[in-house]
Amino acid sequence: MTLPASHADPRDFAHVRDWVFDLDNTLYPHHINLFDQIDRNMTAYVATLLQMEPEEARLLQKRYYHDHGTTLAGLMLHHGADPNDFLEKAHAIDYSLLLPDEALGAAIKALPGRKFIFTNGTVAHAEAAARALGILDHFDEIFDIVAADYVPKPASATYDKFHSLNRIDTAHAAMFEDLPRNLVVPKALGMKTVLIVPRNLEEVVLEQWERLESTEGHAHVDYATDDLTAFLRGLI
Ligand SMILES: [Mg+2]
Pairing of β 223-225 and β 18-21? unpaired
Q: What is the pTM of this model?
A: 0.90
CA of 72 to the centre of ligand 1 (A): 16
10 Å Cβ neighbour count for 158?
23
Q: Are both 55 and 103 inside the same structural domain?
A: no
CA of 31 to the centre of ligand 1 (A): 12
For position 82, which CATH number holds?
1.10.150.450
Amino acid identity, residue 44?
A
Alpha helices by DSSP H, the chain: 10-13, 34-50, 54-68, 71-79, 83-90, 102-109, 123-133, 156-165, 184-188, 201-214, 228-233
pLDDT per position as a tens digit, 104-131: 999 999 999 999 999 999 999 999 999 9
- Cα distance between residue 109 and residue 21, in whole Å: 13
Q: Are both 128 and 17 inside the same structural domain?
A: yes
Examine residue 67 and state whether it is found in any structural domain, yes or no.
yes
* Stretch 78-87: mean pLDDT: 97
Task: Choose the final residue of a domain: 72, 90, 108.
Answer: 90
- Cα distance between residue 116 and residue 129, in whole Å: 14
CA of 101 to the centre of ligand 1 (A): 18
Into how many domains does the chain fold?
A: 2
CA of 106 to the centre of ligand 1 (A): 21
Q: Are both 14 and 129 inside the same structural domain?
A: yes
CA of 57 to the centre of ligand 1 (A): 23
CA of 179 to the centre of ligand 1 (A): 6
10 Å Cβ neighbour count for 2?
7
Going by C-beta distance under 8 Å and a sequence separation of 6 or more, which residues neighbour residue 191? 20, 170, 171, 173, 174, 175
- Residue 212 confidence (pLDDT): 54
Q: Are both 191 and 81 inside the same structural domain?
A: no
Q: Are both 107 and 195 inside the same structural domain?
A: yes
Burial-class residue 1 by CB neighbours within 10 Å (0-12, 13-18, 19+): exposed
Domain encompassing residue 47: 34-90
CA of 112 to the centre of ligand 1 (A): 23
| pLDDT band with cut points at 50, 70 and 90 for residue 211 | low
CA of 114 to the centre of ligand 1 (A): 20
Q: Are both 73 and 173 inside the same structural domain?
A: no
- Cα distance between residue 35 and residue 156, in whole Å: 24
CA of 225 to the centre of ligand 1 (A): 14
Examine residue 4 and state whether it is found in any structural domain, yes or no.
no
Task: Choose the final residue of a domain: 44, 59, 90.
Answer: 90
Question: Residue 209 pLDDT more than 70?
Answer: no
Question: Residue 29 pLDDT more than 60?
Answer: yes
